[in-house]
Amino acid sequence: ITIEEGKIGLEQIDYMLYSANQHNVRLLLTLTNNWIEFGGMDSYTYHLGGKYHDDFYTNEKIKNAFKNYVKTLLNRVNTYTGVAYKDYVYTNEPRCSGSGRLPSSGKCTLETLMAWYDEMSTFIKTYDPNHMVTIGDEGFGLPKPDAYSYTPYPYSGDGGILDAYERNIALPNIDFGTFHLYTKDWGLPGNDIDSGTYWINAHGDVANKVGKPIIFEEYGIREKEDRSKVYGAWHNACINKGIDAALFWMIAVDEYEDYDGYTLYDSTITTLIDPFTKKLLSLGGSCSPKSSTTTKNKITTTTNSQKSTNDVNTSCFSYPDYPCCQDNIVVYSDNDGDWGVENNEWCGINSSSSCWSKALGYECCTGCSVVYTDNDGDWGVENNEWCGIIC
Per residue in 82-94, pLDDT tens?
888 876 778 999 9
Per-residue pLDDT, 291:
34
> Looking at the whole model, is its pTM more than 0.85?
no
Residue 11, Cα to own-chain centre: how many angstroms? 20
- pLDDT surpasses 90 at 243: yes
Q: Which spans in 250-315 are helix H?
A: 266-282
Give residues with Cβ within 8 angstroms of 313, minimum separation 6: 285, 286, 325, 328, 391
Q: Report all structural domains of the chain as residue ranges with CATH numbers, in order of start.
A: 10-283 (3.20.20.80), 314-352 (3.90.1220.10), 358-390 (3.90.1220.10)
Name the residue among 160, 159, 201, 181 with its Cα closest to residue 262.
181
284 falls in which pLDDT band (50, 70, 90)?
A: low
SS3 at position 17 = helix
151 falls in which pLDDT band (50, 70, 90)?
A: low
- pLDDT surpasses 70 at 152: no
269 falls in which pLDDT band (50, 70, 90)?
A: confident
Four-point Cα dihedral 347, 352, 356, 357, nearest 10 = -10
Q: pLDDT tens digit string along 326-357?
A: 332 223 323 343 344 343 333 343 333 333 33
Burial per residue of 340-377, b for 16 or more beta-carbon CB atoms within 10 angstroms, e otherwise: bbbeeebbbbbbbeebebeebbeebbeebbbbbbbbbb
Per-residue pLDDT, 159:
45
Q: pLDDT tens digit string along 63-120?
A: 999 999 999 998 899 999 888 887 677 899 999 999 888 999 999 988 999 999 999 9
Task: Give the C-alpha separation, 132 to 244, whole Å.
Answer: 14
**Mean pLDDT across 379-391:** 37
**Mean pLDDT across 134-142:** 91
Residue 354, Cα to own-chain centre: how many angstroms? 39
- pLDDT surpasses 70 at 250: yes
**Mean pLDDT across 47-57:** 96
Catalytic residue positions, numbered: 93, 218
Q: Which amino acid is at 134?
A: T
Residue 182 near residue 153 (C-beta atoms within 8 A): no
Give me the half-sphere count of Cα atoms (radius 13 Å) on the Cβ side of residue 387. Answer: 12
Helix orientation angle between 60-74 and 40-47, rounded to the nearest 10 degrees: 130
β-bridge mates for residue 178, sequence order: 215
**Mean pLDDT across 300-317:** 29
